[in-house]
Chain A
Amino acid sequence: MNQRWLLVAFALLIGAPAFAQDKKELRWGTDPTGGGPYIYKDDPNGPYVGFEVEFAEYLAKKLGRTSKPVEAEWSTLPELLDKPRTGEKGIDIVLNGYEARDDLKQKYASTVPYYQYRLQLVARKDDDSITGWADLGPKKSRIGVLEASVAFDYCNKRYPGQVVPNKDVATMFNAVADKTHADVTVQDNPACVFYVADPKYKDKFKLVDDGRQPGAYLIYLRKDDKELLSALDTAIKEGLKDGTLRKIYQKYGIWNADQEWLCKELTGDFPPDDDAQVERTGRGGARSVWPLIPQLLRAAGMTIFLAIASFPLAMLAGVVIATGRVYGPVWVKIPLAVFVEVIRGTPLLLQLYFLFFILPKQFPVLAFDPIYIGILGLAINYAAYEAENYRAGIQSIPRGQLEAALALGMSPFTAIRTVIVPQAVRVVIPPVTNDFIALFKDTSVCSVILITELTRKYNELYNFNRDLVVELAFITAGLYLLMSYPLSVVARVLERRMGASAAGGHR
């Protein structure tokens, strides 16, 4: 008997730490740049907060997992479900204010609603001309809405020609506050409540009239994740029924009668009464730009890494392509010419999207981490431009140079390597340096494949720190300048040296 207990104790001793280490994550796709009250930062260098952050933590706890937000651009979140669960950007669920949409429901499984929203009209507090939805048409009000949103569809149908779409919720509120591009904005009511209560916009906005077009936020997940789906549904229902979700939503000021109705719909009963005062979270943001600089510097490091890792690959591929195009047989020249034209003729953004989202669907083995795709995508794109630079360089070298090398008995490869390429390099230094500087700035496109480089970080910080927008913009621009200016200087020195050398300077 004693021996059996000893064995059990031993097993627990061995097993417990292993279990703790293996505790699975609930990886949820989200876009923090969308802002509050969904996911945002009170402290610029602190963790994320928001009702979806706390909701995800609640779900993870219920599932016996830990909550792990995985950042990506909002519109691409569902596509992460097509990728493997493992890896840096692997996710289990999409949880970020996604509505019930037919196109998504066809491809993915979805949970029961976790929040019932309505479209809310918001105007400036001092704008007495807007007292309800009925005023929008006659007043020809400019209506700021989020692109590709339910609000966009709703307003576009009812107020054609008055809709001003934008990618960013905060921009819309700013436009209304500053009386610039929009007179009113129509948003999901959680965002409206958040911005109206934000101390930064004190007495700027008013909620106008009742909400319209009720809808629901759902969690999307893979169709074959039946067990997870069932567990999430159960957790949502339990959370509504036992008041957990009420507490979370109250904390952010977004609990309302619609949620009580949702609870009744899903569980057959209303949530318990809870009149306890819950302290509502405000939005702090940074008071000065200094605490944000380390984040920008880290992101600038990623920008430098992307540029430095991809450009040598682009140069190498460019030399091979250019040589093939100038000296290769027709069956080499034609495909290379097609490659160059296709790559130069299509946007880098699309190429990265293709490499990251589309190609791995056909060939799962190509589902690499975003950082590798970013480097590869930039290298492929710039290889086409470099190839054209080098081709021009090679063709600028008199034909007699190649003939002289061949007449000495060099193989064509040796002749190109030792005679043509070194001379061509001198010719192409200025355009190649320009391309490298351009590449630094083009790394910003990598944000589309979920890489947090300088521009994406700027966007993120800008959303959370609207009053520091000018400082952030200057610092970001300054960082780009700091990265590219030394290159310009190096390029000029190289040009001078090479020019002097070709003209006959001594070694």
Chain B
Amino acid sequence: MIRATNIVKYRGEARVLDGASIEVRKGQVAAMVGPSGGGKSTLLRCINGLEEFHEGEVAVGTLKLKGSEIPSRHTLLQLRHTVGMVFQQFNLFPHMTVLKNVMSGPVYALGKTTDEAETTAKKWLGRVGLAEKHDAKPGQLSGGQQQRVAIARALAVNPAAILFDEPTSALDPKMAAEVMRVIDDLADDEQLQVAMVIVSHDIAAVKRIADVVYLLEKGKVVYSGPAAEAFAPGGPASALE
């Protein structure tokens, strides 16, 4: 379970997160929506320790990050093993093949053997529909395919949660749909049981896959509740459609 409580973060004088809190349970899909600059991506990056925050607490299972404390190296690494992340710009490693990209987490982060990592990587590449692209370099793939590799890479470290930071924003509608289908598929997988947090402007997709919606404005969560209620006509997030 992911619980972020009263997260406050400053950038210079600006209070970019102003006491934001979210909670996502195992197997649940949460969507963060809201206008640009509302703090959605920042909150996501605070959750897996890519950005520091100044007040509040992030708890993932038994691991905790506190705004008032500098986290230990061990805590930070454990947290990142537990929480995978998929970026808007994919951030695949261009010097590695697709297979090596997916193997990189198990090998370099978890210390798995190459054989173990390869088995895991092939499994996840198959799951995202790219089994035949093992030996390709990222530069040879379409944007949608690259993002699917990035999803496989995030899943290969066997995380308890995955954070999606605007995973389809850099893609055209066809490729975006391709990626959302994969996310949809993962969300429906009852065996997988990962908590998923997705930041997206693709409201149609969010409505389809999200169990719970958080509406962020000016660094605050101004609404949290079921997607159906949030996007219902006259609902708090209906203006975003």
Residues of A that sit less than 8 Å from B by CB: 398, 400-401, 403-411, 414-415, 418-419, 422-423, 426, 501-507
Contacts and interface: CB of A to CB of B under 8 A. Distances in A.
A4 B224 CA distance: 113
A400 B86 CA distance: 11
A418 B93 CA distance: 10
Interface stretch (B131-139, B175-183, B232-240): B131-139
A337 to B, nearest CB: 25
A426 B92 CA distance: 17
B95 A422 contact: yes
B85 interface: yes
A305 B215 CA distance: 67
B50 A405 contact: no
Chain B CB within 10 Å, residue with most, of A404, A423, A504, A506: A404
Interface of B: 48, 50, 73, 77-78, 80-81, 84-85, 87, 89, 91-95, 97, 104-105, 108-110, 135-140, 150, 153-154, 157
6 contacts: A401-B91, A403-B87, A408-B109, A409-B78, A409-B81, A503-B139
Contacts of B80: 406-409
Contacts, number: 82
Contacts of B95: 422-423, 426, 501-502
A417 to B, nearest CB: 9
A407 B85 contact: yes
Contacts of A505: 137
A349 to B, nearest CB: 39
Contact of B108 (A414, A504, A506): A414
Contact of A410 (B108, B137, B138): B108
Contact of A502 (B50, B109, B135, B139): B139
Contacts of B78: 409
Contacts of A418: 104, 108
B93 A419 contact: yes
B42 to A, nearest CB: 13
Given A409-B77, A409-B81, A504-B137, A400 B108 contact: no
A505 B139 CA distance: 9
A187 B128 CA distance: 87
Contact of B97 (A414, A422, A507): A507
A269 B173 CA distance: 111
A502 B97 CA distance: 10
Contact of A409 (B105, B136, B137): B105
A406 to B, nearest CB: 7
Contact of B87 (A404, A426, A501, A502): A404
Contacts of B85: 404, 407
Given A414-B108, A502-B139, A407 B73 contact: no
A408 B140 contact: no
A408 B94 contact: no
A407 B93 contact: no
Nearest to B77: A409
Contacts of A405: 93, 104, 108
B94 A502 contact: yes
Given A404-B87, A411-B73, A504 B136 contact: yes
Given A404-B93, A407-B84, A504 B139 contact: yes
Contacts of B110: 409
A459 to B, nearest CB: 46
Closest 8 CB pairs of A and B: A504-B139, A409-B109, A404-B91, A504-B137, A408-B105, A409-B81, A409-B80, A407-B85
A309 B39 CA distance: 53
Contact of A423 (B89, B94, B154): B94
B145 to A, nearest CB: 12
A400 to B, nearest CB: 4
A406 B95 CA distance: 17
A498 to B, nearest CB: 9
Contacts of B136: 504, 506
A409 B139 contact: no
Chain B CB within 10 Å, residue with most, of A406, A409, A422, A504: A409
Contact of B91 (A400, A411, A423, A506): A400
Nearest to A397: B94
Contact of B50 (A398, A407, A414): A407
A403 B163 CA distance: 13
Nearest to A417: B108
B93 A408 contact: no
Contacts of B140: 504
Nearest to B94: A502
A406 B50 contact: yes
A236 B121 CA distance: 85
A403 B165 CA distance: 13
